Amino acid sequence: MLRFGIFLNKQYLAGESPVQRIREHIEQVRLARDLGFDTVVMGQHFLSAPFVEPSPVPLLARLAAESGTMRMGISIQLGALLPPVEVAEIGATLDVITEGRFICGLGIGYRKEEYDAFGVPMADRVRRFEECVMLVRRLWDGETVTYESPTCTLNGVALTMRPLQQPHPPIWIAANSDAAVRRAARMGDTWAVPAHGAMPALKRQVALYQAERLKLGLPLPEDVPLRRDVYLAPQAATAWTEGQPFMDTKYDAYRAWGQDAVLPKDDHWATEFRELAKDRFIIGDPAAFIDEFQRYRAEMPDVNHYLFRVQYPGMPQEFILRAIRMLAEQVRPHVN
C-alpha cells in the first residue's frame, strides 16, 4: 500500500511570529486531513540557530486534535540525548492522545552543539542510543525492568502509562551511514530513510538494510518510509526559480550544522543547486513531479511511504497549501 504523508517543517526565520507559524501548521494539518493524507511527522533539534524551532512533543499533541485518522509521528527524536524512561512515557502519552496513531522515530543525531548542551560525550552516543531503544521497547512491552548502566538505573520498574498500540508504537530508526543502517535493521521496526540522501546511495542502502534483516532472521518491514524534499508549482520553470531560495536557506544551515559530513561515502552535496537537486529533490509541475516520482517507485519499489517536506524557512503559507493540494489532487491519483 502506497502512503502519502507530510513532513512538517517547523523551523522559522528570526523575526517571524512563532504564534502565526503554529497557526499555519494547524491549517496545514487540517488540509492534509481533509485531502486524505496518511501521515504527519516532524523532527527534533535543540539550539536550532539560525532558525527558531518549537519542541515537537507539545506541538504534536496540539496538532493531534486536528489530525482525524492520520498517523502522527516524531521522526526523529534524539534518543542518545534523552532519558529512556522519559522517551517511553512521552511516547505512551502521545499514543493515547492520538488514540493509537503515534509513530516513534529515534536517531543519534550529529550536532556537537546538542551533545554539549546535554553534557553527553559524542563518543558515548552509540551506547546511549542503543540503550534508549532497548529500554523504551522493553518498557512499552510491559516488562518489569531491572537495568544498570553509567547513565540509567532501573530497579524492577514498569510503566504505568502504557501505549495503546500493541505490542508498542512503531519504532522508526534514522540512519545515514552503512553501519547505522545495519543498526536500524537490528533495532527498529523499520528504517526512516533520510530526506537528504541521493537515490543511488539510498537504493544501495535499502538493499543493505534488507540483507541485514534477512541475515538476522527478521521479517522485512511492511512500512518503508522515505522523507523527500519537494517543491511543487503550477509551472516547472517557476518551481525551480521559486523554490531555490527557500531550499537553499535550509541546506545552507544543514551544511553549517555538518549534515553533509555524515552522508555515506558514495554520496556528496554539490554546491550548484541543480546538481545538488539531482536524485535528491523532486521539483517541478505536477506532470514532471509524477514522472520523477514514478522513477523512484521503479528504482526503489520496496519504499512505500513517502513523507514530503513542502515547507522551508521563510516560505509563504499560500505556497505550502498549494503544494499540499497539488500532491493530493494532481499527483496522488496518477501514481501507484
pLDDT value of position 261: 84
| End-to-end Cα spacing for the chain | 9
pLDDT digits (tens, 9 = 90+) for 301-329: 999 999 999 999 999 999 999 999 999 99
CA distance 114 to 111: 6
Number of separate domains in the chain: 1
Quote the domain boundaries for residue 242.
3-334
Q: With bands split at pLDDT 50, 70 and 90, how would you rate the model's confidence at 84?
A: very high
CA distance 226 to 193: 5
Helix H or strand E segment including 148: strand 145-149
Residue 109: φ, ψ to 5°: 80, 175
pLDDT at 260: 85
Q: What mean pLDDT comes out for the span 57-69?
A: 98
Spatial contact of 327 and 9, defined as CB atoms under 8 Å apart: no
| pLDDT tens, position by position, 265-281 | 888 998 899 999 999 99
Residue 190's SS3 state is: strand
Question: What is the predicted pLDDT for the residue at 97?
Answer: 98
| For range 74-91, the mean pLDDT | 96
Q: Say if residues 309 and 195 touch (Cβ distance below 8 Å).
A: yes
What is the reported pLDDT for 262? 86
pLDDT of residue 53: 96
Long-range contacts of 60-65 (CB under 8 A, 24+ apart): 60/94, 61/94, 61/97, 62/22, 62/26, 63/8, 63/25, 63/26, 63/29, 64/94, 64/97, 64/98, 64/101
Side chain identity at residue 175, one-letter code: A
Contact 319, 329 (CB under 8 A): no
Cell of 177: 551511514
CATH number at 209 reads 3.20.20.30
CA atoms within 13 A on the CB side of 57: 13
Mean pLDDT in the chain?
A: 96
Supply 42's cell numbers. Answer: 516532524
| Residues 126/110, Cβ–Cβ less than 8 Å | no
Identify the DSSP state of 261: G
> If we measure between CA atoms, which residue out of 289, 244, 236, 308 comes closest to residue 271?
244
Residue 153 is given by DSSP the state E
pLDDT-derived band at 336, boundaries 50, 70, 90: confident
Which set of grid coordinates corresponds to residue 260? 553533509
User: Does the pLDDT at position 224 exceed 90?
Assistant: yes
**Whether pLDDT at 211 is above 90:** yes
| Kind of pairing between the strands at 102-107 and 145-149 | unpaired
| The three grid cell numbers given for residue 222, joined into one nine-digit string | 511492511
- Pick the closest to residue 185 from 143, 216, 152 (CA basis): 216
Helix (H) or strand (E) holding 71: strand 71-78
